[in-house]
Amino acid sequence: MSLKEDGPSVAIVGVTGAVGQEFLSVLSDRDFPYRSLKLLASKRSAGKTLTYENRNYTVEELSENSFDDVDIALFSAGGSISKKFGPIAAEKGTIVVDNSSAFRMDEGVPLVIPEVNPEAMEGIKVKSGKGALIANPNCSTIICLMAATPLHRRANVMRMVVSTYQAASGAGAAAMEELELQTREVLEGKEPTCNIFKQQYAFNLFSHNAPVLPNGYNEEEMKLVKETRKIWNNMNVKVTATCIRVPVMRAHAESVNLQFESPLDEDTAREILRNAPGVVVIDDRAANSFPTPLQVSNKDDVAVGRIRQDVSQDGNYGLDIFVCGDQIRKGAALNAVQIAELLL
0.75 surpassed by pTM: yes
CATH, domain range 2-135: 3.40.50.720
Phi then psi for residue 288, to 5 deg, are: 50, 45
Q: Are 157 and 183 in contact (CB under 8 A)?
A: no
pLDDT per position in the chain (344 positions), as tens? 677 888 999 999 999 998 999 999 999 999 999 999 999 999 999 999 999 999 999 999 999 999 999 999 999 999 999 999 999 999 999 999 999 999 999 999 999 999 999 999 999 999 888 999 999 999 999 999 999 999 999 999 999 999 999 999 999 999 999 999 999 999 999 999 999 999 999 999 999 999 999 999 999 999 999 999 999 999 999 999 999 999 999 999 999 999 999 999 999 999 999 999 999 999 999 999 999 999 999 999 999 999 999 999 999 999 999 999 999 999 999 999 999 999 99
The CATH H-level superfamily of 140-167+205-327 is: Dihydrodipicolinate Reductase; domain 2 (3.30.360.10)
The domain locations on the chain are: 2-135, 140-167+205-327
Pairing mode, strands 95-98 and 302-309: unpaired
**152 noted as active-site residue:** no
Candidates 144, 208, 243, 252; catalytic one: 252
Q: Are 232 and 144 in contact (CB under 8 A)?
A: no
pLDDT, residue 176, reads 96
pLDDT, residue 1, reads 60
pLDDT, residue 93, reads 96
Candidates 139, 144, 243, 324; catalytic one: 139
pLDDT, residue 57, reads 96
**252 noted as active-site residue:** yes
d(CA 280, CA 40): 35
Q: Are 163 and 241 in contact (CB under 8 A)?
A: yes
